[in-house]
Amino acid sequence: MRTGWLGRNDRLLRIAAGFFLLNQILEFIVLQLGNHGYPALCSWDCAWYAALVEHGYDPEPHDWMGKHPRHDAANWVFFPALPLSAKLIHLLSGYSGAASLLLAGKLFFLLAIFAFIKVAADYRPQLSPVLAAAVVAFNPYSLYGNVGYTEPLFLLLSCVFFYALRRNLLAAGVVGCLLACTRLVGVFSAVAYVIAAIGTWRREPGQRDRILLGLMLIPLGFALFLLFLHDLTGDALAFSHAQRAWNRAPGNPFGHLLDGLRMYPIDKYWAVMCLLALLAPVYLALKKHFELAAFALLGTLLPMSTGLWAMPRYIWWQAPVLLALAILLSRRKLWIPFFALSVPGMVYMYMAWFAGGAFVV
């Protein structure tokens, strides 16, 4: 009988590695058919991240390759966890910033598949680990796991966070701190933390100091980023104010939703996707997974408050949303039509990526 962590997780590791390999094979085929090399994967935000890895945060706004004539663009909008991870690879290997990002992203993608299988097994033991892996590796927006974006790291950390919530609240606080360094939504893992900690707070008064310490750790990473931006630019909220270069500003998420339903077909598509995503926290709440429901709700409404642009990757890389989807697909073999449409959709996203379709940014 195999003992130890590797022994207990051997099958799940093989499933995760197998689906990651299948994803990479499909990507390789798409690259070959389109006569593209792996460097072509690093585009859009990845190019920003690559410059950040090699040169650090901008001291002042600029025109970014002539695309922002108002000289109002800056990489302050990007949180530091991913570029710091890629920076380590860059320093150790000597690879370019772009190559380091792609390598980091693929490593996090593999780990995220495994971490999601573990979370799915924890919250829904009867769910097939094969289906859980497939939902991550072959959803229509799995492209973002391979193009040097922050999505796979965010999914990995959020899965580890929810796994730790049921075992060690202090460890969950440490992971929440990393989440808050990855994306603004990560700060709101504190809400899920509080919901999960209520029972322990009541049952085990001796654990209250650890619970409070874990809670205080979550916003620490975000606070340090704000201090850094203040020191660099004089504006602690520069990450938000710089969004104006892309004509994005906080507003009413439901107003953006209604506007999307009235506008172009792509906006309608995003709006409908957001509406469906908002059903996930409702379903999870009905199943009494209130911490997952709160995270999913905030993880959808917060990015939606700045518009529907790029919403698919905020939706399809959320652990609670993917879990709700996997549960749905496990019933009456709904996974068959889903993946029959999902895999061609994934290929289409790659084609749009290489063609420069702005809706994939």
The pair of structure tokens assigned to 296 is 């999913």
- Three-point CA angle 170, 171, 174, nearest 5°: 95
Rounded-to-integer distance, Cα 335 and Cα 135, Å: 9
59 vs 4 pLDDT, higher one:
59
Is residue 18 exposed (0-12), middle (13-18) or buried (19+ Cβ within 10 Å)?
A: middle
Two structure tokens written together for 5: 């962590």
CA-based nearest residue to 299, from 176, 186, 173, 190: 186
Alpha helices in the chain, H assignment, sequence order: 4-33, 45-55, 81-93, 97-123, 129-137, 151-165, 169-180, 189-203, 208-217, 220-233, 238-241, 253-262, 265-286, 290-304, 311-315, 319-329, 335-355
pLDDT for 247: 82
The confidence score (pLDDT) of residue 244 equals 86
Where is average pLDDT lowest: 16-25, 55-64, 67-76, 157-166?
Answer: 67-76
Interval 266-299: pLDDT, tens: 999 999 999 999 999 999 999 999 999 999 999 9
Alpha-carbon gap, residue 88 to 280, rounded angstroms: 36
Burial call 259-295: b when 16+ CB within 10 Å, e when fewer: ebeeeeeebeebbebbeebbebbebbeeeebbbbbbb
Our CA angle for 304, 306, 311, nearest 5°, is: 40
Q: Tell me the Cα Rg of the chain.
A: 20
For residue 62, give the DSSP letter. Answer: B
Q: Which of 330, 312, 326, 238 is nearest to 280 (CA)?
A: 326
pLDDT value of residue 3: 64
Q: What is the pLDDT of residues 198-211, one digit of tens each?
A: 999 999 999 999 99
How would residue 89 be classed by pLDDT, with cut points 50, 70 and 90? very high
62 strand-pairing partners? 73
pLDDT at 70: 85
- What pLDDT was estimated at residue 157? 98
Whether residue 2 is predicted with pLDDT greater than 60 in this model: the reply is no
Q: Please name which of 318, 309, 181, 316 lies closest in space to residue 249, comparing C-alpha atoms.
A: 309
Q: Do the Cβ atoms of 190 and 176 come closer than 8 Å?
A: yes
CA 340 distance to own-chain centroid: 24
- pLDDT-derived band at 86, boundaries 50, 70, 90: very high
Residue 120: what pLDDT?
Answer: 97
pLDDT tens digits for range 112-130:
999 999 999 999 999 999 9
* pLDDT tens digits for range 305-359: 999 988 999 999 999 999 999 999 998 889 999 999 999 999 999 999 999 887 8
Q: Is the pLDDT of residue 1 over 80?
A: no
Q: Rounded mean pLDDT of 92-97?
A: 96
The pair phi, psi for residue 251, each rounded to 5°, is: -160, -165
CA 197 from centroid of its chain's CA atoms:
24
For residues 160-172, average pLDDT = 96
**Stronger pLDDT, 70 or 118, i.e. the higher one:** 118
The 10s digit of each residue's pLDDT in 230-266 is 999 999 999 999 998 888 888 999 999 999 999 888 9
DSSP lists the bridge partners of residue 73 as 62
Weakest mean pLDDT among 11-15, 69-73, 130-134, 216-220:
69-73
Q: State the pTM of this model.
A: 0.96
